[in-house]
Chains A and B, each alone.
Chain A
Amino acid sequence: MRQPGRWHIRAILAALFIGGMIAGCGQSDDASSSEDGKLEVVATTGMIADAVKNIAGETVSIHGLMGPGVDPHLYKATKGDIDRLNSADIIFYNGLNLEAKMAEIFRQMGSSKTTVPIGDVIPDSLRRHPAQFEGHPDPHIWFDVSLWETAVQQVAMTLIDRDSARMDLYCQNASAYLDSLDALHQWVKEQIAQIPENQRVLVTAHDAFGYFGRAYGVEVEGLQGISTVTEAGLYDVTHMIDLLVERKIKAVFVESSVPRKSIEAVVEGCRSRGHEIVIGGELFSDAMGQAGTPEGTYLGMVRHNVNAIVKALK
C-alpha cells in the first residue's frame, strides 16, 4: 500500500510545479534548443527515431512519440509530448496520412520550425494506391527496405541542412547506415527465396505489409482493410479459410499493434476443415519492439519479421 505521507509530498510537488509553470510560462516558450546546444529532434514513429539515432548519434537529442506496440491511429499525445513538440527544432513524421489529423498540425508548425514528412519524397509512381481511390496512398512504406532508404536519405539531408557544421559526421553515419539497409534488403530477398514459391503467402490481420509483398514477391492477404475501425467480416474470414485450405498454407501471423482475435478465428476455421495451421508468430507492423531488445531497432524488427515468416512458411 502507498504510504499516506507520499501523497503530501506529491501534492506539494504538484503545487510547486504548477506555480513554477505559471511563473515560467513566458520563458519556456521560445527556448528552441536545449542548454547543451544539441538540436532537439522529435520523430513520430520508432522507425524514424531509429534512423535519426543512427545518423546523428549523440549529437542531437531525439524523442520518439509513439512507443512500442502503439497503433499510430490510436496514439494520444500527452502533455509532455506537446512540450517536446513545442521545443523541438526538427520534427520528422511519416506522412502519407499515417499520422492522420496530427499531420495537419505539423504542416502548421512548419512555419516556425523544420517539419519533414519523410514519406513525401517517395515518388508517386512507387506509392501503393488502393484501386478505388487515387491520392490516398498506403502509408506503411518502411517494409520495403529499399523504399525506406529513400525516406532515410531525407532524414540525413534535413539534419545536414540544419546543422551543416556536422556535415561530415552525418554523411559518414548516413552512408554507413544506408549500407546496412542495402545489406538488409539483399538479405530479405535471399531469405524469402527459401520459401517455395506457391507458399509465399503472408496472411495477417490488417494490410500493413503491402509494400513488403510488392518488394519481395510475397502475396499479402489482410483480413481487414487498412483502417483498423472495421472488424473482419464473416465473409472475409470464410474467404480466408478457403484460400488457406486450398493452397495448403502452413501459417498465419498476428501483429503487435492489432488484436489477434480475428486471426485466431481463421486458425480455428481451418482446423475444423481438417487443415492444420499455426500462428507463425507475432510480426511488428506499425510499431517496433521494446527499446533495448534487438526488435527495438528498425534492422532488428525487419529481421525478426522475416525470420518468423521464413521459419513458418518454409
Chain B
Amino acid sequence: MTPDIWVMITGILAASALGLIGSFLVLRQNGMLGDAISHAVLPGLVLAFLITSSRNVVPMVIGAGLFGLLTAYLTELLSQTRRVYSDAAMGIVFTLLFAVGVIMVALFAEQVDLDQECVLYGEIAYTPWNTFVVGGTNLGPRAVWILGSVLLANLGFILLFYKQLKISSFDPQMAVAVGISEKKWHYLLMTMVSLTVVSAFESVGAILVVAMLIIPGATAYLLTSRLHTMLLLSVGIGIICAVGGFMGASYFDASIAGFMAVVGGIVFALVFAGTLIAKRIHQTRYTSERQHIAETISG
C-alpha cells in the first residue's frame, strides 16, 4: 500500500476513536479534557526520563498515560467536593501539573530536550514509515495497529456499557435512582479518554487529537438529540475531516494534521450555519402561518 493510503487510514482511525469517546465529553461538558491532558503529561515525561534516563517512546507513553489519568481523576475529585465547577477544577489541575513539569525540567533536566513536542507527540505524516516489525515481517504502520486497537477498545466499551454510559451522561439523578453509579461510570469513561488521548498523541500528534476529540462530537450534537445517531455521525464527520484534510494538505502542500483540524472547523461552521438557517426558515414559516390565521380570524 502506498504511504498516502496509510496516512489516510491512520487519520480515519484516530478521528473515529477520538470522535466516539469525545462525544461523551461533549455531553458532559468536559470538552477541554484533551487539551488539559496535553499539558498535564509533562511531569510524567520528566519522571519517566529521570527513572529510566532514556527518551524512548515506551517509558514516555507510560509516564504520560499515568499523568493523563491523574489529570482526569484529580479534576473529578476536586469537582465532586461541589465547591468548584468542573471547568475550574480542570483548569486548576492541569495548570498545576504543567507548572510542576516546567519546574522539574528546569531543576533536573535543563540540558536535555525534554518536552511533549520532542519526546511524545507523533506526526501523522510519518506513520507509513514507523512500522511494526515482528520476527522480520513488516506488519504495517505501528500507528494503525495502536489506533485500531484503541478504536476497538472504545467500541467494545461503548457497546457493552451503552445503557450505563447513556443514563449517567444524560441524567445523573436518574442513574442513581436506577442503581447505576454515576461516579463509577464517570471514572471509567475518563480512563478510556485518557488512554485514547495519550496513545493518539503518540501516534498522530497533539493538534489532531485535541480537534478530533471535540469537533466531530460537537458537530453531531447540532444535528441530532439521539445518542446512537450522534455517535454514528461523529464517526462519519471524523472520516470526512481525515480524508478532506489529507486532500487539502496535498493540494496546498501543508501540514496534514493541521489541515484535518481545519476541515473539522469548516465542517462545524457549515453545519452550525445550516442549522441556524433551518431554524430561521422554520420560524418564519411558523410566524407567517400565525399571521395568516390571525388575519383570517379578525377579518
Contact = CB atoms under 8 A, between A and B. Distances in A.
User: Do A and B make up one complex?
Assistant: yes
Interface of A: 13-14, 17-18, 21, 25-26, 28-29, 73-74, 76-82, 86, 97, 100-102, 104-105, 108-109, 130-133, 135-136, 138, 207, 224-227, 229-230, 233
Nearest to B3: A86
Contact of B123 (A26, A77, A131): A77
B130 A135 contact: no
A82 B125 contact: yes
A229 B130 contact: no
Contacts of B250: 17-18, 21, 79
A114 to B, nearest CB: 14
A229 B110 contact: no
Given A105-B130, A108-B130, A227 B251 contact: no
Interface in B124-166: 125-126, 128-131
Contacts of A14: 247, 251
Nearest to B7: A82
Given A29-B2, A78-B254, A79-B253, A230 B117 contact: no
Interface stretch (B101-109, B209-217, B268-276): B101-109
Lowest 10 CB-CB distances: which A-B pairs, in order?
A130-B111, A225-B110, A229-B115, A80-B253, A79-B249, A100-B118, A105-B126, A227-B113, A77-B125, A25-B2
Nearest to A138: B111
Contacts of A21: 4, 250
30 contacts: A17-B250, A18-B251, A25-B2, A25-B4, A77-B126, A79-B125, A79-B246, A79-B255, A81-B125, A82-B256, A100-B118, A102-B123, A102-B126, A105-B126, A108-B131, A130-B111, A133-B109, A136-B111, A138-B111, A224-B110, A226-B111, A227-B109, A227-B112, A227-B114, A227-B118, A229-B102, A229-B105, A229-B114, A230-B102, A230-B105
Contact of B119 (A86, A101, A131): A101
A77 B250 CA distance: 12
A62 B102 CA distance: 39
Determine which residue in B131, B247, B258 has the highest number of CB atoms from chain A within 10 A of its CB, and name it: B247
A196 to B, nearest CB: 29
Contacts of B249: 78-79
B2 A101 contact: no
A121 to B, nearest CB: 21
A96 to B, nearest CB: 10
A130 B110 CA distance: 9
A166 to B, nearest CB: 28
A69 to B, nearest CB: 17
Interface of B: 2-5, 7, 53, 55, 57, 102, 105-106, 108-115, 117-119, 121-123, 125-126, 128-131, 246-247, 249-251, 253-258
Contacts of A13: 251
B131 A17 contact: no
Contacts of B110: 224-227, 230
Nearest to A28: B2
B129 A105 contact: yes
Nearest to A225: B110
Contacts of A138: 111
Contact of A79 (B5, B117, B119, B254): B254
B130 A227 contact: no
B105 A100 contact: no
B113 A108 contact: no
Determine which residue in B57, B123, B129 has the highest number of CB atoms from chain A within 10 A of its CB, and name it: B129
B117 A131 contact: no
A285 B251 CA distance: 32
A76 B258 contact: yes
B53 to A, nearest CB: 7
Contacts of A18: 247, 250-251
A100 B254 contact: no
B111 A225 contact: yes
Contacts of B122: 101
Contacts of A109: 129
Nearest to A86: B3
A28 B5 CA distance: 13
Given A76-B255, A102-B126, A105-B129, A230 B106 contact: yes
A227 B115 contact: yes
Determine which residue in A77, A224, A227 has the highest number of CB atoms from chain B within 10 A of its CB, and name it: A227
B125 A100 contact: no
B19 to A, nearest CB: 23
Nearest to B126: A105
Contacts of A227: 105, 109-110, 112-115, 118
A82 B3 contact: yes
A131 B131 CA distance: 35
Contacts of B123: 76-77, 101-102
B25 to A, nearest CB: 26
A20 B103 CA distance: 51
A175 to B, nearest CB: 35
A17 B247 CA distance: 9
Determine which residue in B2, B246, B253, B255 has the highest number of CB atoms from chain A within 10 A of its CB, and name it: B2
